[in-house]
Amino acid sequence: MKGKTAMKQTEQKTLLKSQQGELDAVLMYNALADAVKDKKDSETFRRLASEEGRHAAVFKALTGETLKPKKTLATFLPILYKLLGKKRLYPIIAKFEYSAVDTYAPVAESYPEVQSVKNDEKRHGDTVLSLLDQHKDTASS
């Protein structure tokens, strides 16, 4: 019994951490949408922000907790965009998205509703990277 409770607590911790990450990502993508030069990138980040909002709602339904988004990423990512440029920043963002896929894989085994969240993160990684491809395509065509 005790072991089961401890496991539940660990699960709840993981879910809360995920919920927090999703909330922070909403602010981060909206801040990026405001900061980036390309209109297409801006629209894409705006869309990703709303999808992270849906993810946050999935975790909120599981934890039953209301959390406040933290502004740290939303503050630093636009600065990094200016410092690094999209060619260097977007692969870093994609890496975050792909690492979320690995984080959510075991969670999705216990909570099937997390499966679609996990799939979205893979797509998010691909989408962010594709913003760099398009650049190449436009330049070469």
Sole binder of Fe ion in the list 19, 29, 52, 74 (CB under 5 A):
52
Taking the C-alpha atoms of residue 141 and residue 132, their distance in angstroms, rounded to an integer, is: 15
Q: Which is nearer to Fe ion, 113 or 137 (CB)?
A: 113
Residue with tokens 């436009």: 138
Q: How far apart are CA 48 and CA 46, in angstroms?
A: 5
Q: Which helix (H) or strand (E) holds 103?
A: helix 86-110
29, 31, 81, 124: which one contacts Fe ion (CB under 5 A)? 124
Would you count residue 55 as binding Fe ion (CB under 5 A)? yes
Phi/psi at 95 (5° precision): -60, -40
Q: At what angle do helices 86-110 and 2-35 cross, to 10 degrees?
A: 150
Q: x/- contact string, 1-40, with Fe ion (CB under 5 A)? A: ---------------------x------------------
CB of 22 to Fe ion, least distance (A): 5
Q: What is the closest distance, in whole angstroms, from the C-beta atom of residue 3 to Fe ion in the complex? A: 31
The contact set with Fe ion (CB under 5 A) reads: 22, 52, 55, 97, 121, 124
